[in-house]
């Protein structure tokens, strides 16, 4: 039996890559997650717009780690830590660890307006994606049923709050859904009349990208008839209505469907680490980690991915990207291996592999180091990267086929309105 036990909480990009990077190491790996699958979150917007099924972008954790004999998966929710006893508390169970990797990511954040959540759902889980899909499709159905022009216009108006990659991708896909996929499927309405508004608080969308790529993205969105409103802050949200301030100007849109792609807050386990291990949190609730990604004072506890605030030598903390989480996961796995061998450990260093965002069919923006792309080439790159990283081989093939089909036919087959129990 291996004497060193590594407990990893969370089977996202960070946790799963850490677990995989420990394959063959003289350790026992225990991966804890609330869900039984790894979710490829960057494609969740495709589920929300009917292009892919949840099964296409999820891989059972047990399947991914099946052949890694030093690993096991346990399903459950971690609620507390016993940092002195080196134990993780999961319901009534306690799971002992020698090294602990916390990789539980982030959730939406409504900036203190939690009442907005049911009115403007965010896109983080499979259930949220199918809920958004249901809302979008039901809005078109309701527009088809109603005869009053005001009601129709309201049902055909969609507001997306937040102009980061998720908001941009969602807006682009939604526009294509309305203008390509649903074309000719209705008899009373023309889905192409749908109005899609993307609201962003800063003065440009995709703020993490260089300015000229933001501009390209805005042009692409304009080409898809998405209205982009920058420097606009949402100040009120009620059923069917969004209020916002754009500088001194006040605006209001009657929209049946409002989607949230604005803020995120770190997983609540950050606060537990603060209380139990004295970790320091930033204002988004992320744990401020040391140069080796450990919690200061606790060299055996690591925090990676969206939950970690890592800044050493950088102007800003590392962004909440899959590629950051993956590199951090691999780094910590390597560190643990070295520690066991008594070898010296270098601080974590992020290798910037660039950023990518897609804006609908054949359009994207990409920055790779000093190179910038936009248009078809960027989109192709985006496609290649995403398919490459889809963790399980089956998914890569099936998603590629599904996409090829969607691309050629402009169809989206996974357009199921599900989730409401039909009455008897």
Least separation in angstroms between residue 129's CB and a second copy is 10
Nearer to a second copy, 246 or 398 (CB): 398
> What's the closest the beta carbon of residue 395 comes to a second copy, in angstroms?
7
Quote the CA–CA distance of 415 and 162 in Å, as a whole number.
24
Cβ atoms of residues 132 and 256 within 8 Å: no
Shortest distance in whole angstroms from residue 41 CB to a second copy: 14
Catalytic residue among 117, 127, 150, 169: 169
Nearer of residues 343 and 409 to a second copy, judged by Cβ: 409
Shortest CB 148 distance to a second copy, Å: 13
**Footprint of a second copy on this chain (CB under 8 A)?**
34-37, 52-56, 58-60, 62-63, 66-67, 72, 74-77, 93, 107, 125-127, 137-138, 141, 144-145, 182, 184-188, 268, 392, 394-395, 397-398, 401-402, 405, 409, 411, 413-419, 421-424
Instruction: Choose between 108 and 298: whose C-beta lies nearer to a second copy.
Output: 108
Q: Which of 281, 244, 240, 278 is nearest to 258 (CA)?
A: 240
d(Cα 47, Cα 412) in Å, to the nearest integer?
10
Environment class of 241 (CB within 10 Å of its CB; exposed 0-12, middle 13-18, buried 19+): middle
Report in angstroms how near the CB of residue 405 gets to a second copy at its nearest.
6
To the query of whether residue 185 is one of the catalytic residues in this protein, the response is: no
Distance of CA 20 to the CA centre of its chain: 21
How many Cβ atoms are within 10 Å of 303's Cβ, its own excluded? 34
Name the residue nearer to a second copy (CB basis): 115 or 145.
Answer: 145
Which C-beta is closer to a second copy: that of 384 or that of 401? 401
Question: What sign does the CA torsion over 403, 405, 409, 413 have?
Answer: negative
Minimum Å distance from CB 159 to a second copy?
23
Nearer to a second copy, 34 or 338 (CB): 34
Nearer to a second copy, 75 or 340 (CB): 75
CB atoms within 10 A of CB 107: 16
Q: Which positions are annotated as active-site residues? A: 169
């Amino acid at each position: 039996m291996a004497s060193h036990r590594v407990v990893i909480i969370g089977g996202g990009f960070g946790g799963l890559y850490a677990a995989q990077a420990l394959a063959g190491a003289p350790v026992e790996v225990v991966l804890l997650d609330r869900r039984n699958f790894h979710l490829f979150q960057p494609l969740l917007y495709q589920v929300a717009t009917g292009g892919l099924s949840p099964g296409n972008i999820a891989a059972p954790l047990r399947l991914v780690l099946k052949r890694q004999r030093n690993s096991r998966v346990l399903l459950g929710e971690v609620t507390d830590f016993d940092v002195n006893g080196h134990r993780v508390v999961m319901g009534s169970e306690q799971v002992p660890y020698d090294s602990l990797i916390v990789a539980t990511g982030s959730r939406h954040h409504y900036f203190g307006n939690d009442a907005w959540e049911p009115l403007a759902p965010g896109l983080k889980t499979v259930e949220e994606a199918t809920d958004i899909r249901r809302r979008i499709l039901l809005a078109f159905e309701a527009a088809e049923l109603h005869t009053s022009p005001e009601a129709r216009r309201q049902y055909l108006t969609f507001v997306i709050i937040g102009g980061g990659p998720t908001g941009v991708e969602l807006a682009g896909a939604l526009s294509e859904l309305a203008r390509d996929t649903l074309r000719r499927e209705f008899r009373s309405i023309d889905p192409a009349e749908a109005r899609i508004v993307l609201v962003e608080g800063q003065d440009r969308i995709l703020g993490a990208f260089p300015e000229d790529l933001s501009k390209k993205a805005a042009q692409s969105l304009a080409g898809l008839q998405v209205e982009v409103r920058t420097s606009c802050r949402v100040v009120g949200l009620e059923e069917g209505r969004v209020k916002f301030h754009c500088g001194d100007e006040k605006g209001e849109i009657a929209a049946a469907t409002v989607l949230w792609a604005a803020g995120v807050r770190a997983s609540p386990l950050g606060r537990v680490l603060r209380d139990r291990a004295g970790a320091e949190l930033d204002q988004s609730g992320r744990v401020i980690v040391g140069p080796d990604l450990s919690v200061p004072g606790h060299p055996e506890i690591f925090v990676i991915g969206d939950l970690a605030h890592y800044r050493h030598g950088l102007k800003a903390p590392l962004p909440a990207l899959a590629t950051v989480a993956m590199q951090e996961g691999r780094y910590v796995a390597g560190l643990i291996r070295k520690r066991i061998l008594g070898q010296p450990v270098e601080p974590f260093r992020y290798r910037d592999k660039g950023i990518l965002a897609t804006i609908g069919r054949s359009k994207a923006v990409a920055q790779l180091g000093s190179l910038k792309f936009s248009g078809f080439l960027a989109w192709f790159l985006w496609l290649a990267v995403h398919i490459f990283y889809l963790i399980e081989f089956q998914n890569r093939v099936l998603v590629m086929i599904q996409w090829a089909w969607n691309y050629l036919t402009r169809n989206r087959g996974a357009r199921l309105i599900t989730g409401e129990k039909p009455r008897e």
